[in-house]
Every structure is written in structure tokens, then in C-alpha cells.
Structure 1
Amino acid sequence: MTNPDEVKEKFCEDPETLINVPKEDKLVNLANSGGEVSTCFQLSVKILEARNLPQTDLLSEADPYVVLQLPTASSATFKTKVVSNSNHPIWNETFSFRIQKQVKNILELKIYDADSVTEDDILFTVFFDTIEVSPGKPTRKTFSLNPQGQEELDVEFQIEEISNSQEKLITNNVLVARELSCLMVQVDKTGSTAAVTEEDELELTVKGSYEDTQISTLGSGMDDSFLFHYITAQEAEMRGCLKSLAVDGGSEGIPDENLTVPLNSLTMGEEVEVNVPAPDATALRLKLKANSCSEEGTVRLGFGLCDEEQVFLKKRKQVVAKALKRVLQLERELQEDEVPVIGVMAIGGGARAMTSLYGHLSALKKLDLLDCVTYISGTSGSTWTLSSLYEDPDWSQQDLEKPINHARENMTKSKLGAFSLGSMKGYQQELRRRAEEGRPPSFVDLWALVLEYLLHGKVTEHKLSEQRASLEKGQNPLPLYLGLNVKENNLGTLDFKEWVEFSPYEIGFLKYGAFIPSELFGSEFFMGQLMKKLPESRICFLEGLWSNIFSVNLMDTWYDLTSSAETWKQHIRNKTRNIEKEPPGSRSTSWINMSWLQPGAAVTQALQGLLTGRPLHHRCHNFLRGLHLHQDYSGQRNFCTWGDCHLDSDPSQLTPLQSQLCLVDAAYFINTSCPLLLRAGRSPDLIFSFGYSLNSPFEALEQMEIYCRGQGIPFPRVELSQEDRRQPRECHVFSDPDCPEAPTVLHFPLVNLSFREYSAPGVKRSPEELAGGQVDLTGFLSPYSLANMTYSGADFDRLLHLSAYNVQNSHSEILRALRAALKHCKRHQP
């Protein structure tokens, strides 16, 4: 039996995950059964009539009919009869759906004009949120199909509770995992009268299931069996047909009728026999048995930190407390609740970011500050440093000379070997193996293999989950890696983006509060359950997607070339908001899509596809697949949306309904890894911000401030004088007395200031050493451009020493910030 405390801890980390539950749903917390029980309802939709429909044919009125679809209730599509030659059709047809009211149910109504010659034209599409219908009484809605015209559609809705119809749900009030059943199908060769050959195929389909359609070539001696996973409460059905294949690839002898079995007619655990019609009045007999899927969900729904991270934090606080006592020369040991959370935030920048981060971390090590850090977050090029360091479980307890020398060796060697015939054959074999495992093909995987050669010169077997060994005793900071999920082919990055966190413990979406163990990333999931486990990818494939700059579209490119920093800031101000602040009722529960009526629609859609398509996009299985959105998801405190992005209020367009993810470099939006540190539960008191931009030393930080302000996340104001902008210093301190919850940020831009004259703090360069202080960060021919992956030994050393010097030269500012962090931590203890 499941422990109630374990269930509560696993699925309800956030104290607000079980609030705002409507009383009429009779939702009961059944912790000892692994979920909550909620009543199902019957939704009746009566299509009444439409008026003043437009004339699409030259010689006659429209021949309209309506198509209904409610994916959260049924995968089937329903349609009314066709009313010929009428702009005022009357249907009066009723359709029924079994719905779960805890789920966001969006009914899609499409009005078509039937055409016997060409493809039917779509006149209008209406989306209706069924939450507007109260149980027990009919609700009539008139949809105005065109604000400029008189076109209208009348529909009547009614919802009634279904007695003795309940299902178990697991929810964090943003996503909902519903109860699954398994349908086992076995071909009964002894009971079949059909004479099948090895050329005959049996095709079985359960729409809306994980498997959808399965085809088996029938042959003597074969054990033909099928398994389908489907939502128990949905009105699913299994369809089957037998196909006899001719030698020329056609089909012969296919009976006109097929097998259809409503799955809700099956009694759980009882075997039934059905017949698939076959030629010559024979039949293929099948044995069916439906069972409840009792497996515990693998996707963790919750916005809190996972258990493993909380255990790590206790251990790490002991290390941090001792380090702070040494560094600040404290008189006594710090208690656990007195230990501040200190994070390192590194941005991207290719090899420049990788080299600079080595310098920054080596400086923190020399100053005995590395043990004061709880988290290290990175994106793009800075993740290359972290993934390499964490191959050693005790890296921060040792001198960093060995990993730095390894990086230097590979950065200064020729890269032609990455494109040799032998290397290309190796890449091909690796990609073929991944395809055989069931992974979607992706150009980004090829980039990952090339990148592995460039950074290491060999195949590395290290995996992300293996970095847990670096955290077992709290001996190292916890590494966090940031990715960005975008739309594959219909929106630019600024119009839709979602933070994705990678850690040795978990990988998940900050927006949805959904996480999986890191070793399962890339495996196949459905409704929160693991369906097909694939071997964990080597970390090089994650490095490839963390620095995936290839999934760009023309819209992103055009905006990047034409926009200024101020344009971006205004764009984000318009697009970020905390939906908590929206007045109730500001969102409409129904909306119309009329793009098909606009002049040149086909040309417009083709142009949009050209601008927003990502020809080289990344592909991987979506672990949110199948999960439904809670009816109140958009009003939850943890779900943050974007002001212009209607997709966030349209659940049918959000990530859980996508079969695959498209992950890109986070710099497509903001070149920062800060969102990981600011996640609820981490609450840093002090952040070391390492910037690696050549031309915009404060841009990412200013963008992060705007983003946080729009989302209601505490963050200090980034206020700069003209002198600071003209000549940045080695270290800038940002804090906000008006926002005491905000952390202090120490920002270290990539600047070459006093390093020109000093080889170490207080050590002036001799005339012979002045050349070592000339680091070209801004010149047209700077060796540190983003595209350059090969440095000379001297260029690597200059950048490494410059980064280390800038931290060491700011030692006094760092110590003051650490003392302030102690006070900040004490002020914010509960």
C-alpha cells in the first residue's frame, strides 16, 4: 500500500497544488490510493443553426456542415449532416462527450462548405471552453463568426453528472495525469476461420492511445499480440481490419466491413472474443482483455525541489558554513538556517565562455570561495566547462590545472580531424544506432558529435545522471543547465519559448512543474508514465542541444539583424506579465479563427511557414505527451505566461499536445542561465554573474531584470551610469533596498581594464610583460569571436588569466557581498 506521506510529498510539493477545486466535482484527496478521485460528466452539444453564411460558390449558396472535436474527451471527430444550398442551415443534431471537469476542455467547431469537385472549404473555426457551462441546465450560445458581418452559429450545451463514473487524477493544478488502462489483444489462430498467409496484415487502431495504430504481418507460427494504453474514462474504441496484400503492393479481398469495439463496453480483467471480418465470409478471431495500468507515474508533477536536491542542500550547507567561517573569519559555526544560498550564473558565448568560466572558477578556488557556492548554472558554451569538470566527482576539491590543460590542448589543436572520412563514418554509425533505438533523427545530433570531437578529441562516455556522484557528499556545487523549448514550425522564438532545466537529478519544465529523472530524458512517455525506456544519451548530445544554434528560423534571424537593445526591451515589456494580476474575466472563453477567409490566405500561410519553419530543428520525444491541462492552469501562481502569446491561453497549442520537443540555445531569447537560480525553492541570497559578451557587457543582465519584473520575480534593478556603460569595471554590485527579497548580484563583465598594467592584483607588469595584458576583446579580428573554435596557446592563456584576474582583483567587493548575504539570509528566514 502506498504511504500517504510519500504520495503527498511526491505529487504535492507545492502547498497550493490542491486549491481552487470546484465543489461540484466532488474531488476527494485519496492519498493512500496514489491520487485523487473526481467525477466524470456528460457534455451534450446540440448544433442548432447558422445564419448568413458567406457564399463561396459563384452559382449557389454554401452546402454547410459542422465538424466537432473535443480531444480531451474523445479522439473521434463528429460531423452533422450537410444542408444543401443554404446560407441559413438548420441541423438540430446532438452529440455527446464524456468529460472530466478538472481538465481544460476546449471544444472545436468547424463549419465546412461541402464541395463535390474540390476539397471542402473551411468557413470558420470556433473554440469554446466548456467551463462556461454549469451542470444541470442548458446553456445556449450564439457565436458571432465575423465581427464585421452578421454570420452566426447557435449551439446549445448541457452538462450532467454521470453516476458511478469516477477516475483517479494526479495534478499540480497546471497539468493533470489521468488514469490509464491497457488493452491486450491476442490473435486466436485456433478459433479463426480465416485462411491467412504471410502476406496478410492485421491493422488495429485505438485513436488517442499511446500506440494509435499497430500493424502485424500474419504468418504461421507467429505469436501475434498487441498492447494499447488509453485513457480509461475516454470513449475510445478499437478498430480492426484484415488486409490481403497482392504481389504488386496493392490490396485484394478486403471486406467492406471492419471490426469496431467500444472499449468502455469491456469489463476490466475479463477476456472477450471478437471477430475481424475476412474474405469469403470467414473471420479472424481476437481475444481482448482490458486491465487497469497500476504503474506509478514517472513524471513528477510539482513545482518544489525534488527530494534528492533537498538532501543535497543539507549536505552542501555544511560545506558552505565551514567555508564562510574560514573566508569571513567568523567566531562561531553557522547554523543551517543561517547559511546563505550563493549561486554562480554563467552565460553563453561558445569557446569564449568556456575558457572564461575556467578562469573565473579557478580564481574562486584560489580565493577559497568555491566551497561557498551552492549552485552553478550555465547555458550554451559555459555548459561545456561544467559538463567536463563534473566528470571528476571531486573536481572543486582539487586544483583545476588538469581540466584547464585538457581544454587548452583541444582548443589549440587543428579541428580538421573532426571532418575526416574516419570521423564522418563514426558519426554515421552513431546516428544509425540512435535511430535503431527509436530516437527521432536530428541534425543537432550530428552537431553534438562534431562538438564532442572539437572539445575532447575522442568519444566520451560520461552521462548527466553520473554527475550525481559529484553531489553525494555535498562536495561540489549543484550544476544546472538551461535549454529553451520553442515551436518547431509556426512561431518565432520571441513569440513562444519555455525554460527547460537540466540537472543531474531531474530534467523538466519550469512553466508546467513537470520533471523526469535525468537518465530517462529521450525515452517515450504517455500520460506521465514511462512507455519505452531508451538508453541514456552521452552528455555530448545534451551539450549539442544546450548550444543548439542551428534551429533558427528566418523570423529569428531577421529580428536579430534589425532590432536594437531598446527594441528588445520594449518587446519583452509588452510580452511579459504575471497572469495573477489579470482581472477576472479578462480572457474570453471562446474565440474565432477566420484566417481562411482572408485574401491570399494560402500565400500568407506559405510565407509564414517559410519565415517560422526551422529546417534543422532538434527533435526528441516529449515526456509531457498525453498530459492534460488543469481547468484552472492559467490562473496558478507558478504558471507564467507571455502577454502576446495566445497559445498560453489555448491548451490545444501548448507543449503537452506535441509529440516532440524542439530545444534550442537559451540565447535565442536571453543569454543567461539565471532563471534556474531564481526557481522557487532555491532563493539565492547572492549571485556571481559572469558575462562573456564582447560588445554588450550588461545586455543579458538588463534583459533578465525586465523579464523578472514582468513575471513578478524578485531581482535587483540594473542601474548604470554613463561612465559605467562607456567603461565597465571588473565588478559591478547590484542590489535593491526597495525589494528586500531580491538577491545581490555581483556582475563580472568581460573587460580588459587594469589587467593591462597588472599581472596579478597589486603586481605591476614589467615592460616585457605588457604584451601579456593586451587582450583583444573588441577588434574586428578578435580571436574570441563566437564562430572561432581554435585559439592559439597565447590567446587561450590571455583570456583565461584575464578572467581569473578580474575576480581576484574584486576580492574585497566579494567579501563585502558575502557578509551582506549572511544578513540577507537571516532577514528572510521564516
Structure 2
Amino acid sequence: MRKSAVFHFPSSFREYVRVSKSLNRKEEQYVKERQAVVEKCLKDNGIKYKQEHVPVIAVLGSGGGERAMVGLLGSLAQMAEEKLLDSITYLCGVSGSTWCMASLYEDPKWSVNVAADKKKIVDRLSNGSFSKSDMLKWLSVAVEDENYSLTDFWAATVVYNIIKEIDRHHLSEQEARDSTNPYPIYTAIDKGLKQDNQTAPCWFEISPHEAGYSHVGAYVDTSLFGSQFENGKPKTPPKEEDMLYLQGALCASFLEIVRKTIIALYNWTWGTKFNFLYKYPVEHIPAALLSDEKRDLIDAGILLNSPYVAALRSERKVDLILSFDFSSDDPFLTVKKAADYCKEAGRPFPSLVIEPGEEKNPKDFYVFKDNTKAPIVVHFPLFNTVNCGEKIEEWRKRYKTFQGPYSKEMIEDLLLVSSRNVKNNKQKILNEIQAACAR
């Protein structure tokens, strides 16, 4: 009889699954250290604040493919130029904005080097190449995984073709970094829970320290995310796909890639991952999360095209949200859906006042706030009457979500438009930071 393999995990993983609504203690420590960076920024900008209440500011980047990637890059670079970037505690992304985040966080000091990093990213997007051989090598590793899905194929073809890079880094590698940069949070949703209309519990977030269901309050260490679990314990070692790729340990034929992709397409399978809550002995978690060995995680933009849920988590105590919206249609749809989510989840959110006709012709700066405990929300529609004049629709048509990679000219134009939303409103942003401090 063949013996089962025994894997030895680091002693630090005594409790593999964390069931709690509280923040991860390492995130808490990071935020505490980040506070010193924020305080210096406030002082440099003449913002008055109470020592016992340094405001927590979160920047949100919406989805929108390459438009969102370039738009967020332009916005963050301009925030750095205006000496506002260090006021941010959290940087949250969904879909296309996460492409920008992933590129920036390759540099442990990107907040300091943002101008140089921006130049590198733009050069890569404009002049980088798409290698079919590298794509097939990456897919040959991915296809050997029993959880191979259309997400792998999409990443290796569409995303790689746009960002011109196969990123071999792992998010957990950022765990030991200092607080030079804002704390990054990436968001997704659980496909099954969404289909069951459990729109609050379906939200899933991933940070350098842990991954899990924020509304449910169940997490696993990020380095273990992807391992096979049962009864709260991993059955397989941490899955390091990129190491397998570098070592060339696995290989698959082109026909095998085609075969498994066709199967995934037929079953419409996306984002399949082993479920760390499989057979976990706890009661308050949705039954499906305990009974299924695998779960499908998909683009959160399908439900809400901006990572509001991560910033609105009450434990993070966010005072001010700067929402950069790169959506293709209604520029207020994300903030409207965020309000709906808060109503369902029982969380405070400011009242929305949007004048008739502004969906088609938005301004460049909106503030939503009231006297509740809800954070102040500042909303920046990408294309607006200030930076596009009467040609908003022309800009929207030029930068569609689903189209080929942008030319260098298109990238430069989009960077300029997105940067103006920050540059033209610096004083207004400072005013809202001051308002957040006064709460």
C-alpha cells in the first residue's frame, strides 16, 4: 500500500484558518507604522489633526481593463507630484486597477520612485513584446494543475498581451516589507455565493498577509492560499506555481492545453481554487463554503466595479475614500452599488446627491458626506466636462474596455486626462482631508 505524502509546514502556522472579523495583526502593525508617514504628509500640507486621530484614507481603483490600469497609474503619479500620496493608508483595486497595482508593487519603494516606475511601466506597455513561446511555457505549467480554468487562459493570453509581462512574483513576498507604500488589497467575489444571491458574503479579499471572505470573517495566510484543505488543515504544501515555472519541472503539450481549455470553456469554469474552509468545523459560515472542496473566484467588477467593500470594512476605520472611477458607462454606478451594498450589509454610507444629466456629463469632483458615521466619499469620474469638455463620448469610444493594447500616444493622452483629475482638485482634496481630521 502506497503511503500518503507528509508535508511539514512552518511552525508559525499553528492555526491555519483564522475565523474572526478582526484585522490580521500584521496588517494592524503595518497600518500603525504607516501612520508616521501619513502624519508627516499632513504636516507638510498644513493639515491640522489630533494626535489621537490620524485619518485613515483609502484610494479605490475601479475596473476597466487597460483604461483602468493606465488611469490609476496617472492618478497615483499625480498624487505623488502634488505631495498627496503619503496621506494614503490603503490602496484597493479590482480588475484592471490591480494590473497597475501589481506592476507598482514589484518595487518595494514605488511610492518614492513613482515617477521612474511610471516611465518603466509606460515603456513596457508601449514597446514591450508578446512572446508566444513564453505564453505556452506558462500555460504548460498551469494546465498541469487540476484547478486549471479559463482564468489561467485569460491571464496568459489577454492580460499578458496588454501588460507585456509574465509576473513571477508572489503577493506573500510583500509580507515583510516596511510601510513605505500604502497597504494593498485586491478584491474578487465567490461565483457560487453570488449565484445564490449572497451578495455580501461573496466578497473575497487578498492582501500580502491573508486571503479570505471579509464579510464572513474567515481567512487563511496568503502563502497558503491555493493549498488543498480539509478540516481546517492543509493537505498539500503552499502552491508556488511560479517556482515550478522557473524550474521547468512540469511540461504539457499544446494539444493538452487546447483540450483542457475547451473543457473549461464548455463548463465555463473560472478562477477555481481549493477551498480552505472545506469541512471546517464552524457554524456561522455559509454551508456551501464548508461542503465544497473547491470554489470559483471571479472578477469582482461583475458585481461592483470598485473595491468599496474592502474600504468599508468597519475594522479598518476608514475616514475618507478617494474613488477613482474608470468605468465605461454610468460614472456613478459604482458608488450607487456601494450604497446598495451598505444598505444590505447594515453599514453606514453617505447620501448620494447626483443632479439630473450628470450621468452623461459628469464633473471631475464629487463629495458625498453627511452627519452619519459613514466615511467621506470623494468620487472622480475619469472622463468629465472639465478634462474632456464636450467630447466625453468621443473619449469613451476611443478607450473601450475590450479592444487591443493601447498605442503609446493613447497611453500618454490617458495619463494626462487622469492626472488632471488630481491636479485640478488638489485643494479640494486637502479640504476633505481636513474635514476627515475634524470628525
Q: May I ask how many residue pairs the two structures share in their alignment? A: 411
Shift of 1:520: 0.9
Verify the 8 A CA contact 1:731 1:810 in the aligned structure 2. yes
Verify the 8 A CA contact 1:410 1:457 in the aligned structure 2. yes
| Equivalent of residue 345 in structure 1, options 60, 76, 79 | 60
Verify the 8 A CA contact 1:498 1:509 in the aligned structure 2. yes
Give the 3 Å change call, closer, same or farther, for CA 312–394 of structure 1 in structure 2: same
Shift of 1:393: 0.8
User: Which residues in structure 2 correspond to 1:552-701 (within 5 Å)?
Assistant: 614-630=267-283, 633=284, 651=287, 654-701=288-335
| Equivalent of residue 402 in structure 1, options 109, 116, 125 | 116
Shift of 1:452: 5.6
Query: Aligned-residue CA RMSD in angstroms?
Result: 2.7
Verify the 8 A CA contact 2:141 2:241 in the aligned structure 1. no
User: Which residues in structure 2 correspond to 1:162-561 (within 5 Å)?
Assistant: 216=1, 224-225=2-3, 296-328=14-46, 330=48, 334-335=50-51, 337-398=52-113, 400-413=114-127, 417-418=130-131, 420=132, 422-432=133-143, 434-435=144-145, 439-451=146-158, 453-470=160-177, 472=178, 474-487=179-192, 492=195, 494=197, 498-538=202-242
- CA-to-aligned-CA distance 1:408-446 (integer Å, 9 cap, x gap): 23433587x45x3x24531343225x52xxx42222112
Shift of 1:495: 6.1
Shift of 1:385: 0.5
More helix by share: 2
- CA-to-aligned-CA distance 1:20-66 (integer Å, 9 cap, x gap): xxxxxxxxxxxxxxxxxxxxxxxxxxxxxxxxxxxxxxxxxxxxxxx
More strand by share: 1
Letter in 2 for 1:617: W
Letter in 2 for 1:501: E
Task: Return the TM-score normalized by structure 2.
Answer: 0.86
Verify the 8 A CA contact 2:383 2:395 in the aligned structure 1. no
Counterparts of 1:615 and 1:462, CA distance in 2: 28
Shift of 1:367: 1.1
Letter in 1 for 2:330: S
What secondary structure sits across from 1:394 in the alignment?
A: coil
What secondary structure sits across from 2:429 in the alignment?
A: helix
Verify the 8 A CA contact 1:691 1:697 in the aligned structure 2. yes
Counterparts of 1:667 and 1:315, CA distance in 2: 31
Show structure 1 runs of 5+ residues with no match.
1-215, 217-223, 229-294, 542-612, 634-638, 640-647, 758-773, 825-830
Letter in 2 for 1:796: I
Larger relative contact order (CA 8 Å, sep ≥ 6): 2
Counterparts of 1:716 and 1:329, CA distance in 2: 23
Counterparts of 2:207 and 2:43, CA distance in 1: 29
The answer for the alignment partner of 2:428 in structure 1 is 813
What secondary structure sits across from 1:721 in the alignment?
A: coil
The answer for the alignment partner of 2:259 in structure 1 is none
What secondary structure sits across from 2:278 in the alignment?
A: coil
Counterparts of 2:271 and 2:359, CA distance in 1: 37
What secondary structure sits across from 1:507 in the alignment?
A: strand
Shift of 1:714: 1.0
Letter in 1 for 2:376: T
- CA-to-aligned-CA distance 1:560-591 (integer Å, 9 cap, x gap): xxxxxxxxxxxxxxxxxxxxxxxxxxxxxxxx
Letter in 2 for 1:376: L
Give the 3 Å change call, closer, same or farther, for CA 754–391 of structure 1 in structure 2: same
Counterparts of 2:35 and 2:364, CA distance in 1: 29
The answer for the alignment partner of 1:822 in structure 2 is 437
- CA-to-aligned-CA distance 1:784-830 (integer Å, 9 cap, x gap): 11112411222111111111111110112111101101012xxxxxx
The answer for the alignment partner of 1:747 in structure 2 is 379
Counterparts of 1:623 and 1:532, CA distance in 2: 11
Shift of 1:456: 4.6
Shift of 1:454: 2.3
The answer for the alignment partner of 1:588 in structure 2 is none
User: Which residues in structure 2 correspond to 1:16-31 (within 5 Å)?
Assistant: none
Verify the 8 A CA contact 1:694 1:777 in the aligned structure 2. no
Verify the 8 A CA contact 2:278 2:292 in the aligned structure 1. yes
Give the 3 Å change call, closer, same or farther, for CA 429–689 of structure 1 in structure 2: same
Verify the 8 A CA contact 2:328 2:401 in the aligned structure 1. no
| Equivalent of residue 706 in structure 1, options 332, 337, 340 | 340
What secondary structure sits across from 2:378 in the alignment?
A: strand
Shift of 1:756: 4.9
Counterparts of 2:97 and 2:107, CA distance in 1: 17
Verify the 8 A CA contact 1:411 1:455 in the aligned structure 2. yes
Counterparts of 2:308 and 2:106, CA distance in 1: 23
- CA-to-aligned-CA distance 1:434-487 (integer Å, 9 cap, x gap): 52xxx42222112222356325534332110112344x2x21110000000112
User: Which residues in structure 2 correspond to 1:152-171 (within 5 Å)?
Assistant: none
Counterparts of 2:360 and 2:135, CA distance in 1: 47
Shift of 1:717: 1.2
Shift of 1:538: 4.6
- CA-to-aligned-CA distance 1:283-323 (integer Å, 9 cap, x gap): xxxxxxxxxxxx83311111100110111111111111111
Give the 3 Å change call, closer, same or farther, for CA 789–506 of structure 1 in structure 2: farther
Shift of 1:531: 1.9
Q: How many percent of aligned residue pairs carry the same amino acid?
A: 30
The answer for the alignment partner of 1:212 in structure 2 is none
What secondary structure sits across from 1:361 in the alignment?
A: helix
User: Which residues in structure 2 correspond to 1:61-72 (within 5 Å)?
Assistant: none
Shift of 1:345: 1.1
Counterparts of 2:20 and 2:267, CA distance in 1: 32
Give the 3 Å change call, closer, same or farther, for CA 368–781 of structure 1 in structure 2: closer
Task: Return the TM-score normalized by structure 1.
Answer: 0.47
Verify the 8 A CA contact 2:35 2:54 in the aligned structure 1. yes
Give the 3 Å change call, closer, same or farther, for CA 406–452 of structure 1 in structure 2: farther
